[in-house]
Chains A and B, each alone.
Chain A
Amino acid sequence: SQQGEEDPQALSIQEGENATMNCSYKTSINNLQWYRQNSGRGLVHLILIRSNEREKHSGRLRVTLDTSKKSSSLLITASRAADTASYFCATDPLNNNAGNMLTFGGGTRLMVKP
């Protein structure tokens, strides 16, 4: 079953605007990670937020986590055309196993128009 689900599936904004992407998940987690992927390219790690954290910043990125609602959001401020990509959330499930798999959501395709 799909652990993470993202919305919207696609988002089109003008350069300079803010973009917000949401992710929901089903089971308890250790952490949640956001990745960016340009079309057909590799996954770039953006940010990790632990289950005991509520908000984290990195440059123009702001991530929030609400474990009671099992949801997270990624906000990109002052967007640029170069931010055009797909953005995935991935959850690290809460257990004691080494080598935990990440479960990815469906991704949000962001297009930033110049």
Chain B
Amino acid sequence: AAGVIQSPRHLIKEKRETATLKCYPIPRHDTVYWYQQGPGQDPQFLISFYEKMQSDKGSIPDRFSAQQFSDYHSELNMSSLELGDSALYFCASSTVLYNEQFFGPGTRLTVL
């Protein structure tokens, strides 16, 4: 069965650079979520989209923005990167009627 696809899997950036993470949800899933997991931490919710509209917002810094496109894929844009942004970034998808979230493999971002 198709799963959530995230790209890239690994990303290394310098401080103050920008990064764009991509997420392709499971087919027919209409809702996408972004989570951040720091080393040794539990995942923290950043933001979610349903039918291309932002539906919920968590602890997402103002330096980050995200959107969902007409094909339901989503991109997380991160600017002015800081050392503390180094983390695993997960995307998850679900259908709105049944909020069973399936996670992608994650993107490991390292900021040097």
Contact = CB atoms under 8 A, between A and B. Distances in A.
Given A88-B42, A88-B43, A101 B102 contact: no
Contacts of B88: 40
A43 interface: yes
A22 B90 CA distance: 24
Contacts of B45: 101-103
Give the interface residue-count category, chain B: 20 to 34
A72 interface: no
Contacts, number: 67
B48 interface: yes
B58 interface: yes
Interface in B69-112: 88, 90, 92, 96, 99-106, 108
Give the interface residue-count category, chain A: 20 to 34
A102 B42 contact: no
Contacts of A41: 105-106
Contacts of B105: 41-42
Instruction: With a 10 A CB-CB cut-off, give which of B42, B50, B106, B108 has the most chain A CB atoms.
Output: B42
12 contacts: A30-B99, A31-B99, A40-B108, A41-B106, A88-B43, A97-B55, A98-B50, A101-B48, A101-B58, A103-B45, A104-B42, A105-B42
A101 B56 contact: yes
Interface string B25-56: 00000010100000000111100111100011
Contact of B103 (A35, A92, A97, A106): A35
A48 interface: yes
A107 B42 contact: yes
Contacts of A57: none
Nearest 4 CB-CB pairs, A to B? A99-B55, A99-B48, A101-B45, A98-B50
A73 interface: no
